[in-house]
Structure 1
Amino acid sequence: MILPRQRGLTEQAADAAIDSAFRLLRLPSIRNEFSDIADRAMKDQMTYRGFLAELLMTECDDRSRRRSERRIKAAGFPREKSLRAFDFDTNPNIDAATIHTLASCEWIKKSQPLCLIGDSGTGKSHLLIALGTEAAMKGYRVRYTLATKLVNELVEAADEKQLNKTIARYGRVDLLCIDELGYMELDRRGAELLFQVLTEREEKNSAAIASNESFGGWTKAFTDPRLCAAIVDRLTFNGTIIETGTDPYRLATTRARAEQAPTG
């Protein structure tokens, strides 16, 4: 399609030609904002370059916003959570500065893991979703899943001889958020498949885990002690551990660690 070009267009004809061009070039944001930007340009006596910059930045900003929205939707978060809405005052054990540092997503860039450990109702899932959302907004591919749902999916994929394809799909995301690890016991096969997913992601992707059990209690989910130790090592090596637990929970965790510590 070639648009007719004429000199001395009337204002009405010019507006029609501009609208047609925006549609042809697929510039919906500029098309929607053009009149307001043009009026503002006249009022502020912008240069032609300044006016063009305003138009282009409007389109770029809106496209960036829409890409972020698509990545957030693709992540599969069960609900909307943000760091702005998190109440740090209700849980002074969580360091706000540490969380906001994590929001920069440098740990994802370095393919490092994150563990959020604490009892129920202490903000683990909120922080997991909020940090995952921050990552999606910064351009990272994110996927959220419950631990039991992921394990069931892996077992079904293995039964249907689609395991490699499923693991590869999870391997393509930059950040895998696994929630509610430790709520239910995982059979040996499921635990091994979960470990395989985490292993396949090593050195190129990050995993963020939220668990209501301290590491000492993960043997309830992973009945094989050696496999449990391997998963803990995988997640804690060069990773960040955030304890969201209440004071009684943290005290119990400290006691459990002391009881597990070697003697002599």
Structure 2
Amino acid sequence: MNATSRRRMSEQAAETAVVGACRMLRLPTIRGKFPDLAEQAAREQMSYLAFLAELLLAECDDRARRRSERRIKAAAFPRQKSLGEFDFDANPNIHAAVVHTLATCEWVKKGQPLCLIGDSGTGKSHLLIALGTEAAMAGFRVKYTLATKLVNELVEAADEKQLTKTIARYGRVDLLCIDELGYMELDKHGAELLFQVLTEREEKNSVAIASNEAFGGWTKTFTDPRLCTAIVDRLTFNGTIIETGTDSYRLAQSRAKAEQAAMT
């Protein structure tokens, strides 16, 4: 056997050893990428240390991506929305600088609330989901729910003697996103249960809500005035309030498309 054959066999043995070690150590990214990175290292005459760094950074980046994807999936967003897709020009009521500051997630880190108030089609849910996604990508545990769905779950948990456990579960996430708050009237029992969730999270973990009603109209949802005042207090203390306005940019976009289609 000549020297070339011995070298080739040695490389094959080394590759087999790397694959086996990666499986044992659970390093799937290195296992998949090391042949290409090895070729690149040889081509660019990288040092052993630089080659090792490339392998490890690739594994770390891929693990971070997978963790982010798991957190986004666990949040149970109904659809994908991003800040990059949001048209700030279509709604001048929403200041891009404020939203981009929120995207740093410092408010989530501090356990502060966020209220998005405005009519349908003004971007509330888009921003709620997009900012929740940013928080999940930043490493925070996030949960999205509709207000009515949350209250129904709490009522069922109370009936099944599981209320404490359910409230604790909602209390543990770093950011609770409650959408469509104010669309339906809640009875006193349902409102009290929702208040318990907010109290559990107060000044510890963040709550972000989207509502089509200004605070003055929340008595339609929370019919007990004192309870309504207490809930508003929980959701606004040390928080950020963004009023998205009354003009639906979705409706404006639909009209513009219809007019353009009629002209062609």
TM-score, L = length of structure 1: 0.89
Partner of 1:52: 52
Q: Tell me the amino acid that sits aligned with residue 102 of structure 2.
A: L
- Considering fraction of residues, name the structure with more helix: 2
How many residues align structurally?
242
Q: Over residues 88-143 of structure 1, what are the superposed CA-to-partner deviations in whole Å (9 max), with x where a residue is unaligned?
A: 11101100010000000000111100000000001100000000000000000000
Per the alignment, residue 235 of structure 1 pairs with 235
1:82 lines up with 2:115 in the alignment: no
* Residue 178 (structure 1) aligns with: 178
- Aligned with 2:92: secondary structure? coil
Instruction: Please give the alpha-carbon distance, in whole angstroms, between the structure 1 residues aligned to 2:234 and 2:115.
Output: 11
Contact 2:83 2:130 in 1 (8 A): yes
Give 1:247 deviation, angstroms: 5.8
- Cα offset, 1:25, TM superposition: 1.2
- Asked whether the equivalents of residues 142 and 174 of structure 2 are also in contact (C-alpha less than 8 Å), the reply is yes
* Over 4 Å off, 4+ runs: none
Mapping of residues 6-155 of structure 1, within 5 Å? 10-155=10-155
Asked if the contact 2:122–2:247 (Cα under 8 Å) also holds between the matched residues in 1, the reply is: no
Q: Secondary structure at the match of 1:93?
A: coil
Q: Structure 2 counterpart of 1:92, which letter?
A: P
Q: Secondary structure at the match of 2:84?
A: coil
Q: Secondary structure at the match of 1:209?
A: strand
- Identical amino acids, percent of aligned pairs: 80
SS at match of 1:179: strand
Please say if residues 119 and 247 of structure 2, whose CA atoms lie closer than 8 Å, have aligned partners that are also in contact.
no
| Contiguous gaps of at least 5 residues in structure 1 | 1-6, 249-264
In the alignment, the residues of structure 2 paired with residue 219 and residue 242 of structure 1 have an alpha-carbon distance, to the nearest angstrom, of 20
- 1 CA distance for matches of 2:109 and 2:213? 27
Structure 2 counterpart SS, 1:81:
coil
Q: Which amino acid aligns with 2:246?
A: T
The offset of 1:36, in angstroms, is 1.4
Aligned-partner Cα distance in 2 for 1:160–1:76: 24
**Secondary structure of residue in 2 paired with 1:203:** coil
Task: Name the residue aligned to 1:188.
Answer: 188
Unaligned runs of 5+ in 2: 1-5, 249-264
